Structure 1
Amino acid sequence: MVWHRWVGLAMAAFLVIAGFTGAIIAFQDELDAWLNPHLYQALSQPGQPMLDVYQLQAQAQQQAPANTRVDELQFKLPQSTLEDHHAEAMIFRLTPVGPQASIPADQLFINPQSGKVLGSRLSTAGPFQRETLLPFLYKLHYSLALPGVSGRLIMGIVAVLWTLDTFVAFFLTLPRRQPQSKSSYWQRWKPAWLVKWQASTTRINFDLHRAVGLWLCSVLLVFAWSSVMFNLREQVYLPIMTKLMPFDLSWRNIPKLPQPLTSLPMPWPQAHQLAQQAMQGFAKNHQLQIDYEDRLRLDRERGVYQYFVHSSADLRQDRGNTAIAIDAYTGEIKGHWLPTQDQSGNTFSNWLGALHMGQVFGMPYRIFVCCTGLSLVLVTVTGVLIWSRKRAGKSRVTLRAPQPANTLQRH
């Protein structure tokens, strides 16, 4: 009980931030596009074909801000224009030319028909512009929008405490042993699952805290432990999970080069062909069905191309996350990433991440994720109210207690 009280109070502000921002970013793409139609929608010319992926990449690189590179190809072009003569923009990620270079933007929005820039933004900027509001909320969600690794470390520690406290909170709802009781165990546990709406506000507040937390206990555990995975993967998550499940860590264990690549190892069409050939062999060996290509990126720090496709192993429908990393010069596979159909630890982790980010089961589950975030805020706030009322009650009792009589007498 003492653990739950003080750990809950220590986590309260962080969980309110995480729950509220998580409820919003469950619909991040839609809200971002609604706030910034000038970035996401381009005037289209009916009947005019889209530029091919190499032209788009070249146009993006030519118009990219100073000190930035476009080290990727985007294969998933919009299939058709919208009824109101607007086409969906292509979004390119910008990387700095040098490791210490300061860049004015890290995202570039391109008209897929003309190749003209619709706009750019620095997603790590503050919340006071509508272009950067949703990216800021996303960063606030996982790192408190703090620079460096400090925010992720704080939220990772909170996630560890949250995971442990989920078990403690569940244990506190269990009924105590009553050997002489004629009621069954379930009859004595049943009140913990219910809210007595006819009771006082204090009792309703307590019931909401206990019942909502109990109903969502397993769901909150998924969100808590996945938060540990995102923020303290190497420090906490993998040391524990590798003792329980086998993992393939080839994707994350590719070493960095002594110096990042400063020039393009080969033309993009040649790199694309090399990646396709490597993926065909990989898919055959792993019995994968390839649905479509997604993107090809150059990782200059590790000297590899990262080639993403959508396959029968993917969890998401709208994005391909089946990937291989190939040597930027030879095409040799250096690592791979499979959402499923791989080692059980990888599959479990990818499901954990997809559930946290609302990437499975379509819109109904994303609505559920949003409601879960708001429920986390409710459980946290009601818990703080329970503590504050108990503290106020103890203070009143102390003030009302009779003072000891003064036994000293004057002479």
Structure 2
Amino acid sequence: MRAYLVIWHRWVGLAMAVFLVVAGFTGAIIAFEEEVDGWLNPHLLHPAWQAGRASLNAYALREAAQRQAPAGILVDELLLHVEAGESAAFRLSLGQSVDGKAAPLLADELFLHPQTGAMLGMRLRGDSLFQRETLVGFLYKLHYSLALPGNSGRLIFGIIAVLWTLDSMVAFYLTLPRRQQAAKSSFLSRWKPAWLIKWQAGATRINFDLHRAFGLWLCLVLLMFAWSSVMFNLREQVYMPVMKTMFDFDLSWRSIPPLAQPLSREPMPWSQAHAMARQAMQRFSAERGLKVDFEDRLRLDRQRGLYAYFVHSNADLRSDRGNTAILMDAATGEIKGWWLPTGDKAGNTVSNWLGALHMGQVFGLPYRVFVSFCGLALVLVSVTGVLIWWRKRHGKQSRRVAR
């Protein structure tokens, strides 16, 4: 059994190595995504604010964004929480051009100065590695899909994530000491060397110890990253079928099908939609015992005929963004679904914790430093694994030549 698992670990590890190096290196950077993006693009994200001047209200900001967006591009959201010193970043979506055809999406983010409504710029996030405005977004795409077009990259990385999950358990098993019928030492004393690095040894032994010890110390963390990667890339195909055997899920957020024809116009003025959303959230929070801290955003989903209203509540995991949300019928305000980061079905809570841990959205700066370290450790484990294989292969070839 062990011999077969060694073969599995060797060849699956080699097959995954390049992908895990890319994922680990990019993950180490995007653990500080907001900071790096802000450093590269202060003109978009951190405009100079005028002391004592109030920001425009959410309706005026959205109107200014829609007025300055390219022809045929829609601004279908209200930003209800903009921090002082930051820009108002709107998502853009495809609309209809004058001839009835879909307009090309040349940009998907538009930035306004919250105090004046002046446009600071636009970008197509992740469009290029060689532009500072889109660099971080491109690294993000590289992290989960190799920046390949369509769904091919997601599928490839999803398969790698499944193999990584299985191999993490195999690798842990292979660190356990072999069974001995008449062992003179205890199990823990025989397992202890697997946790240590023998720095006074030669390069080959140090390389092996680095591979084994880092993988063992971070085994549970790397397993979490692997399985959460399956959640992101193969949610319906692999993650949900497995997790449903252990946990209950509320699927109302994803269960509403698209309309036969997307909404061509806004169902009501944004001020009326906002008031409707507030009333619906008041009812929902009273039923669920939620304490709402602040509003975050209101979006119109034209494809499904819904408004999505996000607030920050005591159910949230992040402190800076509101991910407690309800879905409302765009015409009637009837609640059709909801999203609670915690406090709902166990499957939802576990999944949201996996996502927040993967993306470094909890426990503040110390944990993001740890996530970045884990990304670099994953690179180390992958590279040392390839070196172990290469040296063994080279040794076999040398012995064959000598014979």
Structure possessing the higher radius of gyration over alpha carbons:
1
Q: SS of 1:42's equivalent?
A: coil
Q: Which of 381, 384, 388 pairs up with 1:382?
A: 384
Match of 1:112 among 90, 114, 117: 114
**Alpha-carbon distance in 2 for matches of 1:163, 1:16:** 16
Give the match for residue 3 of structure 2. none
**Aligned partner of residue 198 in structure 1, secondary structure:** coil
Once residues 42 and 158 of structure 1 are traced to their aligned partners in structure 2, the CA distance between those partners, rounded to angstroms, is 41
For 2:344 and 2:198, how far apart are their aligned partners in 1?
A: 48
CA contact (8 A) 2:126 2:136 kept: no
* CA apart distance, 1:77: 2.4
Give the CA deviation at 1:103: 1.3
Report the Cα offset of residue 44 of structure 1.
Answer: 2.6
The equivalent position to 2:219 in structure 1, one of 217, 221, 230, is 217
Q: Distance in 1 between matches of 2:198 and 2:58?
A: 60
| TM-score (norm. length: structure 1) | 0.95
Q: Is residue 66–residue 103 contact of structure 1 (8 Å, CA) maintained in 2?
A: no
8 Å contact kept, 1:67–1:103:
no
Structure 1: tracts of 5 or more residues without a match: 81-86, 402-411
In the TM superposition, 1:159-178 aligns within 5 A as 159-178=161-180
Shift of 1:100: 4.7
Answer yes or no: is the 8 Å Cα contact 2:21–2:379 preserved in 1: yes
Alignment-derived partner of residue 188 in structure 1:
190
Summarize deviations over 1:70-108 as a string: whole Å, max 9, x none.
100001122x4xxxxxx3211001011159532111001
**CA distance, structure 2, for counterparts of residue 21 and residue 318 of structure 1:** 23
* % same residue: 66
* Maintained 8 Å contact 2:20/2:382: yes
Q: Which residues of structure 2 form unaligned runs of 5+?
A: 1-5
Equivalents in 2 of 1:110, 1:70: separation in Å?
A: 12
Count of residue correspondences: 394
Equivalent in the alignment of 2:254? 252
Distance in 1, matches of 2:321 and 2:86, equals: 15
Match of 1:94 in 2: 92
> Which of 38, 44, 52 is the equivalent residue of 1:39?
44
1:223-234 equivalent positions in 2, closer than 5 A: 223-234=225-236
**Structure 1 stretches (4+) deviating beyond 4 angstroms?**
none
In the aligned structure 1, how far is the partner of 2:183 from the partner of 2:141? Answer: 52
C-alpha distance in 2 between matches for 1:101 and 1:211? 54
Distance 1:223 1:45 in 2: 43
Q: Does 1:4 align with 2:9?
A: yes
Q: Match of 2:76?
A: 71
Secondary structure, counterpart of 2:110 in structure 1:
strand
Distance 1:297 1:198, change over 3 A: same
Q: In structure 2, the residue corresponding to 1:306 is in which secondary structure?
A: strand
Task: Decide whether aligned partners of structure 1 residues 100 and 211 sit closer, same or farther in structure 2, where only a CA change above 3 A counts.
Answer: farther
Partner Cα separation in structure 2 for residue 400 and residue 309 of structure 1: 71
Deviations 1:182-224 (A, max 9, x none): 1000000000000000000000000000000000000000000
Aligned AA (1:265) = P
Shift of 1:2: 0.4
- The alignment's C-alpha RMSD in Å is 0.9
Question: Relative to structure 1, is the Cα distance of residues 394 and 100 closer, same or farther in structure 2, using a 3 angstrom cutoff?
Answer: farther
SS in structure 2 of the partner of residue 358 of structure 1 = coil
Judge which range, 235-244 or 34-43, deviates more. Answer: 34-43
Query: Deviations along 1:349-376, whole A, 9 cap, x unmatched?
Result: 0000000000000000000000000000
Q: In structure 1, how many angstroms separate the alpha carbons of the residues matched to 2:86 and 2:28?
A: 25
Contact 2:315 2:340 (C-alpha < 8 Å) held by counterparts: yes
User: 1:269-308 to 2 correspondence within 5 Å?
Assistant: 269-308=271-310
- Conserved 8 A contact 1:126-1:136: yes
Q: Distance in 2 between matches of 1:115 and 1:230?
A: 35
